[in-house]
């Protein structure tokens, strides 16, 4: 089986057959065996043994209800099988798993379903620890933002409280979107694991800190890399060597789309640009540019999407806010958008925030332009509201007589980062001056 087939299709495993042998309910065993023979993904909850006297109709209703309300377990199982993960190098959880492709561990999980406008929405997340013990400096922030400017489907998320850097991505799915989200999330997980192993050592040398090496709790360190870690060079880069997957007609159709909340979209060839808006901001929340002929330095052709939010902050503040937004989307965000990409300051001479995302050709499918457009529009509305609400909260706190505590929000944490960078820079200058004075004194003593 080729790596491409392994990545795209789930396959029956010996673990599934062993689980099947433990099922005593005849109807449940028959249904599971039929699904295995069809090559379907089997959600974790379907393996829970039922009592022998559990009636057939109840089994059918139970499975149908669970499938309708919570797609998380089945997507996680599909990713596990689609990536061809070995049981010996993984640890399964109720709604996720952690696995070791080589030196770094990757955790992939689904949160419990939550009701949203009548849909049972599940948040899917993947995280690969890259560095630990990193310094809190502006130089690190600036260099890391440069990597996020070329993000593909994961962001380098810096958590200064943990002195760590990880690659993170996330997506939201419900029964009507499960199939399309499953393919994108699978691709994002594979790319993330591979990219983390490629960049951990160079990043440690560039930024400081140490690679976040870990090992399986029972099998120990993995001596040889899993084939999945070569997915970029064996699958995504070769597929990206040719032209992009979209036509001029598809971009023109996206500009005319009634689904996307556009304001005056303009399509020219394989480039689409327009202002996205929200219900409470009909004038617009950000400028979205989508390009089908851009090329990624690692992945080649694909779909590049850049959301720009103009905002008047000093460069250091923009840098700090961009890192805070990545941390927020990775951990506590309610943007309900694909976290496939990363926040970074807009390249000069513009001034503002940008979210860059690149979907490689191997993962591009019909309808992707609309899906990414809707996700970016939701992100623009979320980020705009988050920043404005934080600003209003801080202003109200300052105006309260006797208010001493600063509210912990995106802006206050960003200000805290900037102040720490400035303090560290000031200490460095003092040390340099003291060192210079010490050198001069030594030279004078030597001269005497």
pLDDT digits (tens, 9 = 90+) for 138-193: 999 999 999 999 999 999 999 999 999 999 999 999 888 999 999 999 999 999 99
The SS3 assignment for 283 reads strand
Q: 447 lies in a domain? A: no
User: Are 230 and 162 found together in one domain?
Assistant: yes
The reply to whether 305 falls in a domain is yes
Asked whether residue 60 falls in the same domain as residue 199, the answer is: no
Does a structural domain hold residue 432? no
Q: Clarify whether residues 78 and 51 are in a common domain.
A: no
pLDDT at 134: 96
Do 14 and 119 fall within a single domain? no
End residue of a domain, out of 48, 69, 90? 69
Instruction: Say yes or no: 248 and 161 in one domain.
Output: yes
Residue 329 lies in a domain: yes
pLDDT score, position 3? 46
User: What was the pLDDT predicted at 447?
Assistant: 55
- Calpha distance 144→360 (Å, rounded): 22
Give alpha helix (H) positions in 9-55: 14-21, 26-37
Mean pLDDT of 121-146: 95
- The verdict on pTM exceeding 0.85 is no
- Do 151 and 63 fall into the same domain? no
Where does a domain end: 343, 370, 390?
Answer: 390
User: Does 333 fall in a domain?
Assistant: yes
Helix axes 26-37, 14-21, angle to 10 degrees: 170
Same domain, 83 and 147: yes
The domain spanning residue 244 has which CATH number? 3.30.1460.10
Q: Please list the residues that pair with 266 across neighbouring strands.
A: 273
- Is the pLDDT at 220 greater than 80? The verdict is yes
Domain stop point among 359, 390, 421: 390
* Same domain (yes/no): 100, 46: no
User: Is 428 a domain residue?
Assistant: no
Q: Say whether both 45 and 123 belong to one domain.
A: no
Mean pLDDT of the chain: 86
Q: 254-296: per-residue pLDDT in tens?
A: 999 988 899 889 999 999 999 999 888 888 999 999 999 999 9
What does the buried/exposed string (b/e) look like for 54-74 if buried means 16 or more CB atoms within 10 Å of the residue's CB? Answer: eeeeebeebeeebbeebbbbb
Each residue of 298-349: pLDDT tens digit? 999 999 999 999 888 899 999 999 999 999 999 876 767 899 999 999 987 6
Tell me whether residue 237 is in a domain. yes
Residue 416: inside a domain: no
81 and 65 inside one domain:
no
Q: Tell me, yes or no, whether 56 and 80 share the same domain.
A: no
Instruction: Looking at the structure, tell me whether residues 14 and 161 fall in a common domain.
Output: no
Instruction: Residue 38: give the domain boundaries.
Output: 3-69
* Tally of structural domains, the chain: 2
């Amino acid at each position: 089986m080729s790596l491409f087939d392994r990545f795209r299709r789930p396959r029956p495993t010996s673990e599934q057959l062993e689980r099947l042998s433990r099922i005593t309910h005849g109807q449940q065993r028959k249904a599971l065996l039929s699904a295995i023979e069809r090559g379907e993904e089997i959600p974790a909850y379907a393996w829970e043994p039922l009592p022998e006297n559990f009636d057939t109709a109840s089994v059918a209703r139970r499975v149908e209800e669970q499938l309708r309300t919570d797609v998380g377990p089945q997507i996680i199982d599909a990713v596990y099988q689609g990536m061809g993960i070995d049981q010996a190098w993984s640890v399964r959880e109720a709604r996720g798993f952690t696995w070791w492709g080589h030196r770094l561990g990757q955790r992939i999980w689904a949160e419990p379903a939550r009701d949203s406008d009548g849909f049972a929405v599940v948040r899917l997340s993947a995280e690969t620890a890259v560095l630990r013990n990193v310094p809190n400096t502006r130089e690190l922030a600036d260099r890391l933002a440069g990597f996020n400017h070329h993000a593909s489907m994961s962001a380098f998320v810096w958590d200064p409280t943990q002195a760590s850097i990880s690659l993170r991505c996330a997506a939201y799915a419900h029964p009507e979107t499960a199939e399309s989200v499953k393919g994108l999330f699978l691709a994002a997980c594979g790319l993330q694991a591979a990219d983390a192993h490629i960049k951990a050592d160079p990043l440690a040398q560039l930024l400081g800190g140490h690679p976040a090496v870990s090992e399986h709790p029972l099998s120990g360190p993995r001596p040889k890399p899993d084939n999945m870690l070569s997915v970029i060079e064996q699958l995504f880069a070769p597929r990206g060597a040719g032209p992009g997957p979209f036509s001029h007609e598809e971009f023109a159709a996206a500009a005319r789309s009634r689904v996307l909340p556009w304001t005056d979209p303009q399509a020219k060839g394989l480039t689409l640009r327009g202002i996205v808006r929200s219900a409470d901001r009909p004038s617009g929340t950000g400028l979205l540019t989508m390009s089908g002929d851009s090329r990624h330095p690692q992945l080649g052709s694909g779909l590049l999407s850049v959301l720009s939010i103009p905002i008047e902050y000093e460069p250091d503040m923009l840098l700090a806010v961009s890192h805070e937004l990545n941390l927020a989307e990775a951990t506590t965000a309610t943007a309900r958008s694909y976290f496939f990409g990363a926040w970074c300051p807009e390249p000069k001479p513009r001034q503002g925030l940008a979210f860059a995302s690149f979907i490689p050709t191997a993962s591009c499918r019909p309808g992707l332009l609309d899906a990414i457009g809707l996700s970016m529009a939701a992100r623009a509305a979320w980020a705009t509201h988050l920043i404005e609400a934080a600003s209003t909260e801080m202003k109200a706190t300052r105006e309260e007589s006797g208010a001493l505590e600063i509210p912990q929000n995106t802006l206050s944490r960003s200000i805290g980062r900037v102040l720490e960078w400035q303090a560290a820079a000031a200490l460095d200058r003092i040390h340099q001056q003291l060192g210079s004075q010490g050198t001069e004194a030594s030279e004078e003593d030597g001269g005497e």
